[in-house]
Amino acid sequence: MLSQLNEEKLVVVGGGAAGVYGAIHAKTIAPHLNVVIIEKGKPLSKVKISGGGRCNVTNGHCADNLILAENYPRGHKELRGSFFNVHGPVDTMSWFTSHGVELKTKKNVTAVSVLSDGKFLLEIKQLPSGSAKHVEVDYLLIATGSNRQGYQLASQLGHSIVEPMPSLFTFKIEDLRLRELSGVKYLPIFELLAF
């Protein structure tokens, strides 16, 4: 879909809440745009983790809502609300497609430059193979959240970056199994004992 002629293109780098909202808003105000979200991981994965596990895009590999809910680690009741019963993963992804927003996963935008005509040239690598292709787009929205890659892409475009500061207390953990939890907030869990 990125290669269609004579069609203005917007690429959104980052499939989190901000990127998805930006893509939807762009299609709302400019329905003619060819809008593509590029996400190296699962779209809306932090929404799933930090939003009570109710994201319906991230589990697109499971078409049966009941099977997905039964395998939810906190118990199936949390995923059996009225919204989930009506709008499962396949429905949600179909909604994006029907509104002209294409979701591309397992792709990583690794470089960006501005062409002489003001368009953007993106280098997009397929994961996990690493094979790269170059794509020319009219508009670019970088919405990578706390991922430093967004800052690197903005720097490649000549923007100066103010060093980001965490607004919440953070933990630096070297355990690679936990790296996808980066940026997730947890409430303290404790038990009050009476003496």
Instruction: Give the count of beta carbons closer than 10 Å to the beta carbon of residue 53.
Output: 18
Q: Which two tokens stand for residue 180?
A: 């996808």
Give every CB contact of residue 40 below 8 A, 6+ residues apart in sequence: 105, 106, 107, 108, 127
User: So what's the pLDDT on residue 17?
Assistant: 80
User: So what's the pLDDT on residue 176?
Assistant: 75
Phi, psi of 184 (to 5 degrees): -95, 135
Domain ranges of the chain: 9-156
pLDDT in tens, 34-49: 999 998 877 666 655 5
- Domain 9-156 carries which CATH code? 3.50.50.60
Higher pLDDT among residues 95 and 133, named by residue: 133
Lowest mean pLDDT among 1-15, 22-36, 75-89, 126-140: 75-89
Does the pLDDT of residue 53 top 50, yes or no?
Answer: no
How far apart are the C-alpha atoms of 152 and 133, rounded to whole Å? 19
Q: Which two tokens stand for residue 179?
A: 């790296």
CA atoms 75, 76, 77, 82: torsion sign = positive
